[in-house]
Structure 1
Amino acid sequence: MKVQLLATDMDGTLLDDHKRLTEKNCLALQEAHDRGIQVVLCTGRPYQTVKPYLGQLAIPCWLVTNNGAVIRDPKGNVLHTSYLRHETLIQVVQALETPPHLYYHGSDDHYTYVKSRWQRMKNIFSFERRSLKSRQQAAFHAVDTVLLSGLHRKVNYATFSQNGGQLANLIVISQDGEALELKRQQLEKIPNLFLTRSGHDNLEILDRYTTKGNALAWLCRHLNLDMGNVAAIGDHENDVSMIAMAGFGFATENAVTTAKEQAMHITCSNNEGALWEMVTLLDLKKQAG
């Protein structure tokens, strides 16, 4: 089989632990692009937090964001959005508003919806500090993202859901693993949900059919490609579907066990150039010949 589309997760795969896009991985994706392979970034992130990396890559990338809920073309145009069902969202909000009370926010294909702008800024500040930004840089980024960008909306979630508001996904964030597991158990009682994780400190909530794997299958139909000609790589629970469905499934050395179990190959870690090793294993130069 010939690889026609390469899909990569971002955090924990394409990016190192400090959220940096390394030159080695940039060159790997450039190599794939130069060989005529479509490149897709598949991430739990919303579009706004992916955009800064696109300039560094400098190649056209298809985008699967919000853990498979939103699909965009290389120009950023929305091609498809998968929303939580109305009644399901109402039940999700009710569950999230019962103890244990954990931070959460939701997104559609444009905005992020928050109960508290202050809590969201604290959340972003903590995330940005992991990327080696100074306290001042992290604080400025948090303020700019939440207050100045125009991309955040403060809502009463109960009213929002009851009045027909739509969300592509929600994410619950907490360092309390026991509380997250309890919240997961509460949400598992609600029908038509897909629950997954992209890190040890979060819980992702989507429609039951919304996965990275199904998003890639949709994109393949759009591009008239076969999933057997897709190579996909990831590291966490939310990547398992695309690794399993791709003709060439890869997991990083730092990946969770469930991802490794579905992979044909295990690369080095995200800190050592996982995409470079993936492209090397695929032997694209030989394929092109």
Structure 2
Amino acid sequence: MTIKAIVCDMDGTLLTSDNTIAPKTFSKLIELQNKGIQLILASGRSYIRLLPDALKLRMDKHAGLMIDVNGTSIYHVQTAKRDRIGLLEKPFINELNQFFSLFTVELQYSQDDTIYTYLPDEIYTIKRNIRGEMRLPDDYPWMGGMHGWLCDTRDGYPNQYMVRNLADTPDYCNKISVVQEPAYMAFVRDTLQNHPIYDQYEYVFSDERKMEITNKNITKGKALDLIMEYHHFQNDEVVVFGDSENDVSMFKKKKYSVAMGNALTYARQQANYTTEGNNHEGIYNMLVRLENQGLFG
């Protein structure tokens, strides 16, 4: 069998730490698409945040696909068609709000171009002090990210709102993110795993500070399986690159599952291969290895 599709996670995988695609990786992905290999981007990001890189990679010319928000939809870059797979609706949001209100955590509710950020008093005070020390403008986002208490994602979520009362959270969202310092998030995870609500949703860590929640059976892996079924791809005809827990569902049963050198420990344990990190042309190096084995035809 030859490889017919390349699947790349974004943050920590295809993107370097400065949010660019490494030059050799970029050129190789263009080259392989020109040879007829399908390129699929799979991310916790919304399709709006993925589109700029997809267009740079000329995926609109090669019928590329994007799995966005951890598998809540599949986006066809060439036609701008979006196949919605699953949303979190108000009853589920309320149930999750009730459980996570027991913790001192930030909650983010991601829609396509909008994020609502709920901040309990303790976290609001921390962020208010940080914003003052940094002299940030009033319109700077309040949401946290993988590297700290504040993160500016207005490039993909132009509409951002802070919420101080859980009754004001939205009626639907693609995913809920739970954010705090790594040690506290480990405590949240341990508590969650011993509660009945754990079996009712999908929970994955995109990094040590952020746990992401979607409806049951809504994962990147489920979306990839739908794509593979439609295109009749076999498990040894796809190479999958990832670095986090939300990529592990895509690794399952794939012969060429590849963890980046910078991947979380659990992701490395679940992959069949490892490559160099996202800042060291890891994707390019693995693609060349596979190419030298004659796996791209």
- Indicate the TM-score class for this superposition, using the shorter chain for normalisation: 0.7 to 0.9
C-alpha distance in 2, partners of 1:119/1:255? Answer: 33
Are 2:87 and 1:83 aligned?
yes
Q: CA deviation at 1:186?
A: 4.6
Q: CA deviation at 1:198?
A: 1.1
Cα pair 2:110 2:173 within 8 Å, conserved: yes
Are 2:147 and 1:166 aligned?
no
Three-state SS of the structure 2 residue aligned to 1:33 is helix
Q: CA deviation at 1:244?
A: 2.4
Q: CA deviation at 1:92?
A: 0.6
* Structure 2 CA distance for partners of 1:280 and 1:195, relative to 1, 3 Å: same
Cα displacement string for residues 105-161 of structure 1 (whole angstroms, at most 9, x for unaligned residues): 112345333347x6971437x7799xxxxxxxx99x667766xx4x44666643556
* Structure 2 CA distance for partners of 1:285 and 1:27, relative to 1, 3 Å: farther
Cα displacement string for residues 42-71 of structure 1 (whole angstroms, at most 9, x for unaligned residues): 111122222232232223331111112221
Deviation larger for 55-64 or 30-39: 55-64
Cα pair 2:4 2:296 within 8 Å, conserved: no
In the alignment of these two chains, the number of paired residues is: 271
Three-state SS of the structure 1 residue aligned to 2:116 is strand
Partner of 1:223: 231
Q: TM-score, normalised by structure 2?
A: 0.79
Q: CA deviation at 1:271?
A: 0.8
Q: CA deviation at 1:250?
A: 0.8
* Structure 2 CA distance for partners of 1:168 and 1:144, relative to 1, 3 Å: closer
Counterpart mapping for 1:202-281 below 5 A: 202-281=210-289
* Structure 2 CA distance for partners of 1:166 and 1:85, relative to 1, 3 Å: closer
Are 2:65 and 1:45 aligned?
no
Cα pair 2:109 2:176 within 8 Å, conserved: yes
Q: CA deviation at 1:82?
A: 1.4
Three-state SS of the structure 2 residue aligned to 1:254 is coil
2:65 to 54, 62, 67: 62
Three-state SS of the structure 2 residue aligned to 1:3 is coil
* Structure 2 CA distance for partners of 1:119 and 1:246, relative to 1, 3 Å: farther
1:107 to 107, 110, 114: 110
Q: Which amino acid aligns with 2:234?
A: D
C-alpha distance in 1, partners of 2:71/2:29? Answer: 21
Cα displacement string for residues 152-175 of structure 1 (whole angstroms, at most 9, x for unaligned residues): 4666643556xxx2222111222x
Are 2:97 and 1:93 aligned?
yes
* Structure 2 CA distance for partners of 1:142 and 1:87, relative to 1, 3 Å: closer
Three-state SS of the structure 2 residue aligned to 1:79 is strand
Query: What root-mean-square deviation, in Å, do the aligned CA atoms of Structure 1 and Structure 2 show?
Result: 3.0
C-alpha distance in 2, partners of 1:104/1:219? Answer: 31
Cα displacement string for residues 259-278 of structure 1 (whole angstroms, at most 9, x for unaligned residues): 22222221111111111112
Partner of 2:188: 183
Cα pair 1:85 1:207 within 8 Å, conserved: no
Greater helix fraction, Structure 1 or Structure 2: 1
Cα pair 1:83 1:207 within 8 Å, conserved: yes
Deviation larger for 210-219 or 50-59: 50-59
Three-state SS of the structure 1 residue aligned to 2:88 is coil
C-alpha distance in 2, partners of 1:59/1:42? Answer: 13
Are 2:79 and 1:71 aligned?
no
C-alpha distance in 2, partners of 1:15/1:46? Answer: 15
* Structure 2 CA distance for partners of 1:40 and 1:127, relative to 1, 3 Å: same
C-alpha distance in 1, partners of 2:38/2:286? Answer: 15
Q: CA deviation at 1:34?
A: 1.5
Structure 1: tracts of 5 or more residues without a match: 130-137
